[in-house]
Structure 1
């Protein structure tokens, strides 16, 4: 399962098809996804609950369905959908999940409207008090996936596993000795530490089992590329590699943080993204925003193509993956959190039927979609956040 989040809203008139069902027209922003039409499900009319928070109200409830609180340190949310799924899948993989981004975490402290910048910098929450940082450096991501090795080669991976196991054995012996010496008050802390050690042991066991699995030879990245598109493609390539090697089955990815002021000189947009998104309904500015939106979708489409080109079991990675692509803001000029731009892409191992545009009425919450996705992923829940129940996505219209 993967989530790709885009910030600062969407030029909706260039995103939303006028028609519904299977005969929907491909809009300008979505043009690059036309080759994958049969595995694209376009959903219109969904809503998020945090209307009073302009940008935090997009990113924070996107995978949680809940609202945060004002203040720099009063940071509260709930576990996000990806982490619920990760807890279930983690027993089968070395890594429970990966949280990735194309932009550094940016500001700390308070951002707009008195809300903590934390709400803008992540879409993943381990629990109500633990926002997960999104890693933007591909070298760090590679090291988390394969350790401090030069490449994905089997010999390099084997040497890393042996080194890590030696260190782990030493740590385990030291902690066991310490546990015999400390008082009862400190035993709880040591037990928590030992639980983390056992998780590392599980990951090493999985790494050992997968050591001989064939992987494309990939060299360790040097760092963050200068160009945005090079950075994006490298991070998407690492995601393909993570799925291909079954290192994790859960990845969240922010194309940029909310309130991002990235510029896109690669496509002739030297102005900052966030100010452009406040277009005051000026057609020239909306067209520029659409250019950015189209660029993001094109990079995503390149990723989808790689998933379709990668064999996996009796099909391809695209046949088996379930990708949620979208934004937590629709009309960026007024920070609307309804009628959001949302796509489901992939086959979901036979659980998803694409090639359709479904338009919902009465503003069903995005959290209803999360409940449906989790059910199709084999992690059923009654609700998450403000959900009312599962969202019907198998019908032509709702």
Structure 2
């Protein structure tokens, strides 16, 4: 049932067959503030960059790199008195809304480029990633857009994607124009949620129920299970569409410019278009959770702001000049800053007098700490944004927090470290839900006002 991969094609086909009740296509711009509640609903975005953020020095010295802030007092563990480093300085405009965490280990700390399989997941790599889990409980107006997954320059033949639904890898949308169409192209609204019932009260599959039962009787157990899974998926699509609400926030979705999506010549433009689409979706209230995967581990698309010829993976390995190494890592940090700029330009859908960033938590991280040794200890982790007042970011000064004192793991090089899945457990708790991860999922204190 490949048509299930395209929600729009499926719905058109189903409607043409008379399976779905007639639906109307609402306009993209609604009466100003018609459905706003005045009560903030926090949004969360995971901004994942590849090949680390240069936490080690160009000479290979551990923890002498370009990312972690330098504290005014030596070895300060919790302070608002710090200076941003050469790469993190790219985010200086948002220092006062930032919490820089240090002391985190991902998995066993030595997965190399396989870090993409677990960067947003549990240590056992058996459960859904944190974005998918949050999307289930933090829905916007369109249930089918529970967790938007944008992948600028991520969708090459390698298929190394960071978002997971259970044990199934999710595929991001690499084309910002198609991402826009997937979100805004058909925004249906039903009069009420009917799950799998049509207007006459008839179940979606009633007209072909006998055929389904006949087919099931001829299938083996495993094949029957596959059929049932597909039928359940169809029911879920219909239920999601019937539960979709009109866009009521004051927002103006604009189709992004169309550029060759994997071309190095348009890397900046394609990245910017993804920022625009994701921010617009959040500001329209369509979704409250998104992941932006920038490139992919061992990133191959040249960043011409850093090097005209060498790919950023080679630059992360320090195969070229020190300046190219610096410029490549700065570029990724700068994209996070530009995404924050985009969020700042939009109004919040529920509190229009505030910016979207006022009620959004952005998590900036990578599938590895440093791209030369390719290790996953001393992981870079920045939590930034207003987050509806939940983030403890130093009362408007910005904050650096070393959490090794809360560590549950010991590493031969980094010492005590906090398992990264505990960060996701803490984020989930702050957003009013939990993670089904095995092992240690105790919350890390000092990050959110509502998590002790």
CA-CA distance at 1:191 after TM superposition = 5.4
Pick closer, same or farther for the CA change 1:222–1:35 going to 2, 3 Å: closer
User: 2 CA distance for matches of 1:228 and 1:198?
Assistant: 39
SS of the aligned residue for 2:445 comes to coil
Selected match of 1:146 from 171, 174, 184: 184
The aligned counterpart of 1:230 is 269
The aligned counterpart of 2:80 is 22
CA-CA distance at 1:201 after TM superposition = 3.2
CA-CA distance at 1:220 after TM superposition = 5.8
User: 1 CA distance for matches of 2:132 and 2:293?
Assistant: 16
The aligned counterpart of 1:311 is 347
SS of the aligned residue for 1:177 comes to helix
CA contact (8 A) 2:248 2:284 kept: no
SS of the aligned residue for 1:27 comes to coil
Q: Report how many aligned residue pairs link the two structures.
A: 355
Gapped regions of structure 2 (runs ≥ 5): 1-43, 56-64, 405-415
SS of the aligned residue for 1:344 comes to strand
CA-CA distance at 1:329 after TM superposition = 1.5
Selected match of 1:5 from 43, 48, 60: 48
CA-CA distance at 1:180 after TM superposition = 2.9
CA contact (8 A) 2:362 2:384 kept: yes
User: 1 CA distance for matches of 2:347 and 2:54?
Assistant: 35
CA contact (8 A) 1:41 1:343 kept: yes
The aligned counterpart of 1:356 is 399
- RMSD in angstroms over aligned alpha carbons? 2.9
Indicate the structure with greater helix content.
1
CA-CA distance at 1:384 after TM superposition = 2.6
Pick closer, same or farther for the CA change 1:6–1:387 going to 2, 3 Å: farther
The aligned counterpart of 1:329 is 368
CA-CA distance at 1:179 after TM superposition = 0.8
User: 1 CA distance for matches of 2:170 and 2:322?
Assistant: 33
CA contact (8 A) 1:5 1:327 kept: yes
User: 2 CA distance for matches of 1:90 and 1:310?
Assistant: 19
User: 2 CA distance for matches of 1:339 and 1:59?
Assistant: 16
Selected match of 1:293 from 329, 353, 356: 329
1:45 and 2:103 matched: yes
User: 2 CA distance for matches of 1:337 and 1:220?
Assistant: 35
1:81 and 2:130 matched: yes
**Structure with max Cα Rg:** 2
SS of the aligned residue for 2:112 comes to coil
Pick closer, same or farther for the CA change 1:91–1:321 going to 2, 3 Å: closer
**Greater CA deviation, 298-307 or 210-219?**
210-219
CA-CA distance at 1:219 after TM superposition = 2.8
CA-CA distance at 1:47 after TM superposition = 0.4
User: 1 CA distance for matches of 2:139 and 2:165?
Assistant: 13
1:257 and 2:281 matched: no
The aligned counterpart of 2:7 is none
Cα displacement string for residues 365-394 of structure 1 (whole angstroms, at most 9, x for unaligned residues): 11111111001111134x635534111234
CA contact (8 A) 1:4 1:252 kept: yes
CA contact (8 A) 1:47 1:339 kept: yes
The aligned counterpart of 1:275 is 314
User: 2 CA distance for matches of 1:87 and 1:193?
Assistant: 20
Pick closer, same or farther for the CA change 1:6–1:123 going to 2, 3 Å: same
1:132 and 2:188 matched: no
CA-CA distance at 1:246 after TM superposition = 1.5
1:244 and 2:283 matched: yes
User: 1 CA distance for matches of 2:82 and 2:388?
Assistant: 24
1:374 and 2:428 matched: yes
SS of the aligned residue for 1:343 comes to strand
Pick closer, same or farther for the CA change 1:254–1:91 going to 2, 3 Å: closer
CA contact (8 A) 2:53 2:366 kept: yes
SS of the aligned residue for 2:252 comes to coil
1:105 and 2:163 matched: no
Cα displacement string for residues 307-346 of structure 1 (whole angstroms, at most 9, x for unaligned residues): 1232210522111111110112123221111111110011
CA-CA distance at 1:106 after TM superposition = 2.9
SS of the aligned residue for 2:277 comes to helix
Instruction: Within 5 Å, give how 1:110-129 maps onto structure 2.
Output: 118=159, 121-128=160-167
